[in-house]
Amino acid sequence: MDEIIDRLKKVRKGAMFIIEAPSGTGKGTICKELLRRDPNIKFSVSVTTRKPREGEVEGVDYFFVSDQQYDEFLAQDAFYEHVDSQYGSRYGTLRSEVDSFINVGQDVLFDMDWAGARQMRQKAPDDVVTIYLLPPSIKELRKRLINRGTDSMEVIEQRMSIILDKISHWDEFDYVIVNVNLEETITKIQKIISGERMRRVRQVGLKGFVKELVNEVKNSN
Ligand code: ADP
């Protein structure tokens, strides 16, 4: 019996979890914790045409490619989603990279905006699960950005100025969580992940398993 359950677990199809939030809500902190606590979740590494910044590692931060290579990927429809940044660099999520994880039962986590999430949902509707995080208040959001200490006041104000546009897409997401308490939010997301792993479409071993059950019934009659 245990052997069957074990086998079922091994033939699970992974899911693609997209988490989005207005800057400062806690998305980065939460993603890092989810990855640290569950080795079955992998982070999706994007392709980019921009040059590596100091300390960035190929295959860890990004896959750095030339414009020509990027165009080839586009022509082959090799991306789940792609975007041209306003600064001229281009970014994309390679299907092959993501599929290599989900086909062996590992889940993939994406740090992606609503536009990317929309493209992903269109291309892989059964595999994509989207989660939107909201701050408890705008005052608290500003406080978190200031406390984080990574942005100048000018950048913080810039982030705050696009918040309405960001928040307006909240209802395109499957799950919405207000990130009041960090630990509680992480627990909630872990529960979402557990539930999503049990969906019938992800338990790809079930067909064979039920067939065996049916045979067992037939043979015992
Ligand atoms: P984002 O990636 O969404 O821009 P960060 O993960 O960098 O946000 O979080 C912004 C700041 O808020 C960080 O200093 C982080 O430690 C803090 N933070 C995250 N979640 C909470 C929370 N629930 N309560 C208080 N502070 C939080």
Helical ranges in 65-173 per DSSP H = 67-75, 95-102, 114-123, 138-148, 153-161, 163-167
Gap between the Cα atoms of 197 and 214, Å rounded: 24
- Say whether pLDDT at 5 is over 80: no
Cβ–Cβ under 8 Å, residues 109 and 39? no
Best of 144, 150, 189 to mutate for ligand 1, by most ligand atoms within 8 A of CB? 144
Q: Does residue 9 surpass a pLDDT of 70?
A: no
How far is residue 22's CA from residue 9's CA, in Å, rounded to a whole number? 35
Give the orientation angle of helix 182-197 with respect to helix 27-37, to 10 degrees. Answer: 60
CA of 217 to the centre of ligand 1 (A): 54
Q: How far apart are CA 34 and CA 42, in angstroms?
A: 10
Query: Does residue 147 line the site of ligand 1, with CB under 6 A?
Result: yes
Both tokens of residue 121? Answer: 């949902």
Rounded distance between C-alpha atoms, residue 111 and residue 23, angstroms: 12
pLDDT reported for residue 84: 87
> Cβ(26) to ligand 1 under 6 A?
yes
- Express each pLDDT in 156-169 by its tens digit: 999 999 999 999 99
pLDDT of 171 > 80? The answer is: yes
**pLDDT digits over 176-189, tens only?**
999 999 999 999 99
Please indicate whether residue 179, judged by its CB atom, sits closer than 6 Å to ligand 1: yes
Per-residue pLDDT tens digits for 88-127:
899 999 999 999 999 999 999 998 889 999 999 999 999 9
The first and second tokens of residue 205, run together, are 């071993």
pLDDT class of 219 with cuts at 50, 70, 90: very high
Report CA(43)–ligand 1 centroid distance (Å): 19
Q: For residue 111, what pLDDT is reported?
A: 86
pLDDT at residue 10 is higher than 70 = no
Cβ-based burial of 59 (10 A; exposed 0-12, middle 13-18, buried ≥19): exposed
pLDDT in tens, 11-39: 789 999 999 999 999 999 999 999 999 99
Nearest CA to ligand 1 atom 2: 28
Mean of all residue pLDDT scores within the chain: 94
132 secondary structure, DSSP code: E
pTM: 0.91
- Give the number of the atom of ligand 1 that is nearest the alpha carbon of residue 31: 6
The rounded Å distance from CA 118 to ligand 1 centre is: 25
Predicted confidence at residue 150, as pLDDT, reads: 93
CA 22/CA 166 separation, integer angstroms:
6
Q: Tell whether ligand 1 has an atom less than 6 A from the beta carbon of residue 24.
A: yes
Residue with tokens 């290579």: 69
How far is the C-alpha of 44 from the C-alpha of 79, rounded, in Å?
A: 12
Q: What distance in angstroms lies between residue 64's CA and the mean position of ligand 1's atoms? A: 28
